[in-house]
Amino acid sequence: MFVSAIAKHLSACFHTVQAEPVALGAGNNASELVSYAGRTLPSIRPLQLKQLLTGSKTDPLVRLQSVRDTALDQLNQLAKSDGSAVQQKFLDALATSQTQVRALASQLSSTLSSISDDGVKGQALAAAALIAANVTPVVTIRIPFGGDNHSDQNLQAEADQHLSGVQAIQTLMGNLKSLNLLDKVTFATWNVFGRNLNGIAKVTSRAGRDHYGNHAVTLMIGKNVAPGVIGGPVANSSGAYVASAIDSSAGSASASGDIPADATHDAAARTLAAALGIPAGVMANDFTSSAGGKVVPAALTSVP
């Protein structure tokens, strides 16, 4: 739920419509749903978003707009006759939000009309639209990069999904650029656990990869992210590759680094928060007391 911790800190800065993250593409797997303040958030499909904002007047979701308009008109008439100032202000706010949503649909019509499915491309387009609308400080999407490939013969699915995954990232960044948001958004992928690397028989025979706690990869793209590779794999005593410790000042893999290998995941989280402009002291309470790692300055153009 790290994305929720980030959203909590950024929502006040961005004045987003909601503080909660929006999860796209997590509908088929409950373990991918996001929670915020103890509440599990619903997954929103890209086609649902498109239908709501651009659908025809006969679409069920869009018909709700006319029902809402009618009810709002009736409430306004009632408020004018005997409503309090607070009640009238509340109704005015509802009317304003209605107008803003429809104006937003018009502004984003090109992006929204390009959504044709709930897959990676549709999620990338929907994410860009939600960010442009300042709906939420964080949007999550699902990009397959091999997935549950225990029996992936010749690592074929992994190879195919790496190509489609990178293309999805390119689509997202292109959408952000077209909406003049490229320097205002940071993209990051997050692996909760790694897969076997070279030096293990199953991988050498190209018969798939198993869960592997000694390796994970995080990719970050953003204005405050310095280009380069931080850390890296090294061979252990048996010849299998594992994550190395990291020298935080240089960002290089180093056996004597000040970030031990088993704390590199925590370091990635702290560094991503710093890339978003959140000072380490502000994020401190979002980590458990036993969490290790530290911000890696070498990964950033500036440290808040």
How far is 293 from 266, CA to CA, in rounded Å? 5
pLDDT of residue 61: 47
Model pLDDT for residues 46-59, shown as the tens digit of each residue: 998 888 777 555 55
**199, 226, 233, 264, 303 from 297: Cα distances, Å:** 31, 9, 20, 14, 6
Task: Output the CA–CA distances (angstroms, integers) from residue 121 to 55, 128, 179, 197, 295, in the order listed.
Answer: 19, 11, 16, 29, 32
Give the model's pLDDT for residue 263: 94
Query: Do 176 and 128 form a contact (C-beta atoms < 8 A)?
Result: yes
For the record, the structure tokens of 73 come out as 């008109």
Model confidence at 259, pLDDT cuts 50, 70, 90, reads very high
Integer angstrom CA distances of residue 46 from 110, 164, 287: 14, 18, 32
Sheet holding 139-140, edge to edge: 43-44, 22-24, 139-140
CA distance to 69, 72, 87, 100, 101, per residue, from 76 (Å):
10, 6, 9, 18, 19
* pLDDT greater at residue 257 or residue 96: 257
pLDDT per residue over 136-191, tens digit each? 999 999 888 888 899 999 999 999 999 988 998 998 899 889 888 999 999 999 87
Kindly report the backbone phi and psi dihedral angles of residue 133, in degrees, each rounded to the nearest multiple of 5, phi listed first: -80, -5
Work out the pLDDT band at 220, boundaries 50, 70, 90.
very high
Question: If you compute the radius of gyration of the chain from its CA atoms, what whole number of angstroms results?
Answer: 23
**Inter-residue long-range contacts of 49-52, CB under 8 Å, 24+ positions, other chains counted:** 49/112, 49/115, 49/126, 49/129, 49/130, 50/112, 50/113, 50/115, 50/126
Tell me phi and psi for residue 221, to 5 degrees: -135, 125
Share above pLDDT 70 across residues of the chain, in percent, rounded to a whole number: 83
Q: Where are the alpha helices (DSSP H) in the chain?
A: 2-14, 46-54, 60-82, 85-107, 109-113, 120-132, 156-178, 201-204, 264-275, 280-283
Long-range contact pairs involving 250-258 (C-beta distance under 8 Å, separation at least 24): 250/298, 251/296, 251/298, 251/299, 252/298, 258/294
Chain centroid to Cα 166, Å, comes to: 15
Examine the pLDDT at 258 and tell me if it is beyond 80. Answer: yes
Q: Which residues contact 259 (CB under 8 A, 6 or more apart)?
A: 245, 246, 247, 248, 267, 292, 293, 294, 296
pTM: 0.81
CA–CA separation, 203 and 296 (whole Å): 31
Which of 260, 259, 285, 261 is CA-nearest to residue 273? 285
Across all residues in the chain, what is the average pLDDT? Answer: 86
- pLDDT class for 120, splitting at 50, 70, 90? confident
pLDDT band at 84 (very low <50, low <70, confident <90, very high): confident
Check residue 119 and give its pLDDT.
Answer: 87
pLDDT tens digits, 24-71: 976 666 777 889 999 999 888 999 888 877 755 555 545 555 665 676
Q: What percentage of the chain reaches a pLDDT higher than 90?
A: 54
Please tell me the predicted confidence (pLDDT) of residue 193: 73
pLDDT over threshold 80, residue 85: no
